[in-house]
Amino acid sequence: MVSRIFACLDTLIDLALSPGWNGDYDDFDQRNAGTAQLRELIDSDRVILYIPPVLVANIHLAVQTYAGVAEASQVIERLLEMGNTALGIDYERVLEQANKLFGRQMELTLYEAVLLVAAAALKADAIVVRAPTLFSAAVYPHRQSWFEFDIPILGVKDIQELESFLSRPTHANGNWIYAFTPQGRVIRLPYGATPVDFAYRVHTKIGNRCTAARVNGSEVPLDQALRHHDVVEIVKGQTSQPNPEWLSFVVTRTAKKAIQRGLRNLWSQRGWVIANEVLSKNGRIRRHQLEWASRELQCSTQELILKLGADEIPIEKIQTLVQQGCYWQVEEKVLSAEGKSATRQQPSGWWLASCCHPLPGDPIVGVLGGQNRPIRVHCATCDNLQRVPASRCCQVTWECQQCDIQLLVVMQDQPDIVRPVLNRLVEYDMTPNLRSLNIAPDGTVRTAISLEISSRRDLNRTLQQIEAMPQVMQVKVTKLSPVEHPKVPPFSLTPRFSQPAST
């Protein structure tokens, strides 16, 4: 039996990431086990997850505040793969009733009230929330006065109840239908499935090449719901591709994921073709041009290519951004070691040297690389500068106030070993982000933590505080990069480079 469920904001983010993504480890084991079971039910199409669009916006805001825009976009992509936002209900009526409930119960937020009302309007089988007692206390006293509400409200740790509910026997034409291929193969689909769902259940390639469908010998629209015992024939095209409109009516997660994956591949190929034709023919310069444009648009390079291939961003806009900010194409006169003037192109970015780890406030010197290569920024006291010719050195000035650093912390393997380290960093008004955690065969835990540092003093204090913890065996800086403003490079470059010392 297929069950239709809704889930609260915290549960949805736990599904897309994992419990504890924001440092909240209350009931971690139960939440982790519950979300794993729920994810398994969704993957096996035993559960259809419905997500009101207002929750999508709130989820993006919550994750962006904690982890940044890139992580928030990835969370939304995963949720759109898992769930269905096309509910087919009267949202004006839903918002009106949710506003009334919100006015009566201030313990609930408006989007939580929308979740409850939408679930009732769609007659969902269950609602999975983080705090079922709070939701039940807010809804059940008023369930007869404003709408009929008789939906189980389950906690994440009560997923076993949902599994037992799904395992109840049902008749053949209940929430499942059984359709047939022309060769007699039986295909089981959830109620409301379309010929496109049927095609993807048979094979992904058949779904991608689907152009039309015949049901019981007659051609039907691709969005028409199939019935029990229908014989379905899929008409395939040689060069057909998935259609974005299919996402509005398919009901199985298998079809939705395959369509989204096919569209991403198609848009990626098309986007790279456009970029290669219009932007620089030099691969390295083209990569820097795309990186600059993606920073201006606050997205990753891959997202930029996908939007370019999907015609969401015109190539003319990228060309304009590149022309405005492409500082590596500006030519300047540089005095060579022999005293002759030579023309050098400005570098294509900035690298912080890993030998000295310069931080905002440190005196710094830039070292020019080859043509179209980035400037490598060193501390002015770095020993490696003694081996660099004076003609390759230039003056640079900090324009950013903070740097992103990544620490490698090696600790003894103990239960809940990372939390004390994160709490220690939070005590010093820092926002740590746990990037990875690996358990080595020798019984040690190696974890990568990223955070923002504004000075050398802050870095030394952070390292000292972590090293002083008894369970920490080693801590060191592994990565360092400036926090860039979308419109301002992290450094300013003095137009006149330093001349070589006279002999």
Give 10-residue mean pLDDT values along the chain (503 residues). Answer: 75 82 74 82 79 83 83 86 76 78 65 80 79 70 56 71 53 63 82 90 90 89 85 86 88 87 88 84 73 79 86 83 52 34 47 79 79 75 84 77 84 84 85 85 87 83 87 85 53 45 37
CATH number given to 403-482: 3.30.70.260
Q: Cα(37)–Cα(33) distance, rounded to whole angstroms?
A: 6
Write down the pLDDT at residue 107: 62
CATH 3.40.50.1010, the chain: domain bounds: 3-166
| Pairing status of strand 375-379 against strand 472-482 | unpaired
> What topology is assigned to 3-166 in CATH?
Rossmann fold (3.40.50)
Give residue for tokens 């009101």. 52
* Type and span of the H or E element at 433: strand 433-439
Q: Cα(126)–Cα(162) distance, rounded to whole angstroms?
A: 8
Strands (DSSP E) along 132-286, which ranges?
153-155, 176-180, 186-190, 210-215, 218-220, 232-236
Q: Cα(240)–Cα(208) distance, rounded to whole angstroms?
A: 7
Write down the pLDDT at residue 64: 85
Pick the CATH number of 176-259 from 3.30.300.90, 3.30.420.40, 3.20.20.70, 3.10.20.30: 3.10.20.30
* Type and span of the H or E element at 219: strand 218-220
- Contact between 374 and 346 under an 8 Å Cβ cutoff? The reply is no
CATH 3.10.20.30, the chain: domain bounds: 176-259
Paired tokens of 437: 């955690």
Residue in 303, 361, 384, 368 with CA at minimum distance from that of residue 332: 368
Residue in 43, 39, 48, 42 with CA at minimum distance from that of residue 19: 39
Write down the pLDDT at residue 192: 84
CATH 3.30.70.260, the chain: domain bounds: 403-482
Buried b (16+ CB within 10 A) or exposed e, 181-211: eeeeeebebbbbbbbbbbbbbbebeebbbbe
Which neighbouring-strand residues pair with 5?
A: 49, 126
